[in-house]
Chain A
């Protein structure tokens, strides 16, 4: 029997798995009749999922969690049975700010954060306006990355920096016009801003966290409950897409993504973002799609750290209601992938590839390290 469903996505390189599922026929092979819906904004994806106008979507990892924490309109639950890869964002700053932040080519991320602190002091002394940084959504990894970075430089993100939310497609213009000093957004938009000469990439996800969680597959919980086989079929299709993407030639992937109905950005920007100097997007079914409970807890820790929610929540219970490693395991096992033995892992502290306990075989994981040496233990 063919099951019809509607999947929303935001035009970004890290929506790749959702797009490949259609482009390469993986949905059809799993008995799914999928209609993709290219959405202009995250709020729309969230609301359409609430009203059942979308059954599933490519979403920012903190979005389903924000619903679980009761933030924003909470009409329906969204579960996350898999991650859609790791990394994929970059931070772009104006050329003027770049000069102030990078003093030599050996500058590390921590150095740039400290240089930003000096720049903020200089501006304050001169009576100049605050540094303005933009992100695409308030409940986003971008917001947390930018705050974590500036705080590491000894800056109070609430008092010393001004934050604005802007659509990624408008960020380059705002930077060029001097409305903002920098922004963080999913690729390929930062790369396009750089190619257009509107600013320069200061750092990308892997510079901040080599294996950073970013997007997840959001599924409307009522739909998942009504279609238990459908959820597994959907995860299977996307895991197959990840297998293809992992082995694929970057040029082939870029060509698919560049299509107008998909990411629809200039091929050159997409290729730059996918290159080794790019945004570090990792699409590997085995190492970057498991919905780690420790990721959910790290994000919720960020909600508390930045005052977006209070500490009085049962974070473990919320994480387990929303992130669904059990569904991932079911789908992955049927494809013969190795299955992690735990739902949580230590985040950070792995500067080199390491081995994760799994069955039937252990998994060789990429380095998992934060730029400031921070280690997060959720359990």
Chain B
């Protein structure tokens, strides 16, 4: 099994590759990863299967190889199994499209597709967690700064400043970070010599 993964996202491609290797049927797979499609090198590796990220513009190039046989080492066909539209639709939604060469067994491809989709979703979850962590950190910073503003302007303790912030957030039904951002915006206006 010779697989080519085309995905500009290294981490995601690695995860898809790991997923294919973990599948018992494909443990001896040779996996190549290219960030973008290179027609000139395709002949050298002659993949039996290409997995390409849906959002890659190169997908059109691969699609064209299906039509222009003379440019391809062998015809590339898109894998669309009518009886299994759900798996394919899920894979498309997840951003993975699989292309297989002629004559390759569709049942094995289906399992690869499932694994690839699963891995892709895992990666997307990790990505989402990371951006949430970043947003949380930013929110904490503005809350701390807003507390500082309240402490100086009202001469209260950090604990009291926090309670005021929290009460206001609860009363107005808004996140604390949003309340903190408002305080910071207004405190900027109140500074002497500005505006």
Query: Smallest distance from the beta carbon of A63 to chain B beta carbons, Å?
Result: 11
**Other-chain residue from A40, A73, A164 in contact with B39 (beta carbon distance below 8 A):** A164
Main DSSP-derived SS at the B contact region? helix
Interface residues of A in 4-48 (CB under 8 A from B): 39-44, 47-48
Contact call A72/B57, Cβ cutoff below 8 A:
no
- Within the complex, the shortest CB–CB distance from A46 to chain B, in Å, comes to 9
A51 at the interface (CB under 8 A from B): yes
The DSSP consensus for interface residues of chain A is loop
> Known interface pairs A40-B56, A41-B57, A167-B57. Does A138 touch B80 (Cβ–Cβ under 8 Å)?
no
Are B66 and A51 closer than 8 Å at their CB atoms? no
Q: Contacts of B88 on A, CB cut-off 8 Å?
A: 51
List residues of B (27-65) whose CB comes within 8 Å of A's CBs: 36, 39, 54-65
Contacts of B57 in A (CB 8 A): 40-41, 167-170
Q: Chain B: how many interface residues by the 8 Å CB criterion?
A: 27
Q: How far is the CA of A72 from the CA of B80 in the complex (A)?
A: 10
On whether the beta carbons of B97 and A165 are closer than 8 Å, the reply is no
Q: How large is the interface on A (under 10, 10 to 19, 20 to 34, 35 or more residues)?
A: 20 to 34
Interface presence of B154 (CB below 8 A): no
Knowing A47-B92, A73-B78, A75-B80 are in contact, say whether A164-B71 is a contact too (CB < 8 A).
Answer: yes
Tell me whether B178 is interfacial, beta carbon within 8 Å.
no
Cross-chain contact B80 with A165 (CB below 8 angstroms): no
Would B60 and A41 count as touching, CB distance under 8 A? yes
Least distance between B100 CB and chain A CB atoms (Å) = 13
Which chain B residue shows the least CB distance to A39? Answer: B55
Asked whether A137 is an interface residue with its Cβ less than 8 Å from the other chain, the reply is: yes
Kindly list chain A residues whose C-beta atoms are within 8 Å of the C-beta of B85: 51, 75
User: Distance in Å from the Cβ of A6 to the closest Cβ of chain B?
Assistant: 12
* A137 B89 Cβ-Cβ under 8 A: no
Contacts A51-B88, A72-B66, A75-B80 known; A43 to B59 CB distance under 8 Å?
A: yes
A292, CB-defined interface residue at 8 Å: no
Report the bound CA distance from A44 to B93 in whole Å. Answer: 10
A166 to chain B: closest CB distance in Å?
A: 6
CA distance A13 to B2 in the complex (A): 40
A141 to chain B, nearest CB (A): 15
Chain B positions 89-128 with a Cβ under 8 Å from a chain A Cβ: 89, 92-93, 97
Bound CA span A39–B63, Å: 15
Kindly list chain B residues whose C-beta atoms are within 8 Å of the C-beta of A48. 92
State which of B62, B68, B78 has its C-beta within 8 Å of the C-beta of A163. Answer: B68
B67 within 8 A of A: yes
Contact A73 B89 (CB under 8 A): no
Question: Are A138 and B89 in contact, with the CB atoms below 8 A?
Answer: no
B191 within 8 A of A: no
A107 is an interface residue with CB less than 8 A from chain B:
no
Smallest CB–CB gap between A111 and chain B, Å?
29
Question: Do B67 and A44 touch across chains, with their CB atoms under 8 A apart?
Answer: no
CB pair B71 A43 closer than 8 Å: no
In the complex, chain A residues whose CB is within 8 Å of the CB of B63: 41-43, 72, 137-138, 165
Which residues of A121-176 have CB atoms within 8 Å of chain B's CB atoms? 136-138, 163-170
B68 touches A75 (CB 8 A): no
Q: How far is the CA of A137 from the CA of B64 in the complex (A)?
A: 7
> In the complex the two chains form, is A44's CB within 8 Å of B54's CB?
yes
| B126-148 interface bits toward A, Cβ cutoff 8 Å, 1 = contact, 0 = none | 00000000000000000000000
Distance, CA A169 to CA B59, complexed state (A): 13
Report A-chain residues with C-beta under 8 Å of the C-beta of B62: 43
Given contacts A47-B97, A51-B88, A53-B89, contact A137 B80 (CB under 8 A): no
Residue of A nearest to B60 (CB): A41
Q: Which residues of A contact B58 (CB under 8 A)?
A: 41, 167, 170
Give Cα distance in the complex from A167 to B57, angstroms: 5
Nearest CB in chain A to that of B61: its residue: A165
- Chain B residues contacting A308 (CB-CB under 8 Å) are 67
CB atoms of B97 and A138 under 8 A apart: no
Given contacts A43-B78, A47-B78, 8 further A-B contacts (CB under 8 A): A47-B97, A51-B89, A53-B92, A137-B64, A138-B63, A166-B61, A167-B61, A169-B57
Cβ contacts A to B, 27 pairs, < 8 Å: A40-B56, A40-B59, A41-B56, A41-B57, A41-B60, A41-B63, A42-B60, A42-B63, A44-B55, A47-B80, A51-B88, A53-B89, A53-B92, A72-B67, A73-B80, A75-B80, A137-B63, A137-B64, A138-B63, A138-B64, A138-B68, A165-B60, A165-B61, A167-B61, A169-B57, A170-B57, A170-B58
Residue positions of B touching A, CB distance < 8 A = 36, 39, 54-68, 71, 78, 80, 82, 85, 88-89, 92-93, 97
- 6 smallest A-B Cβ distances: which pairs? A167-B57, A165-B64, A43-B63, A51-B89, A41-B59, A41-B60
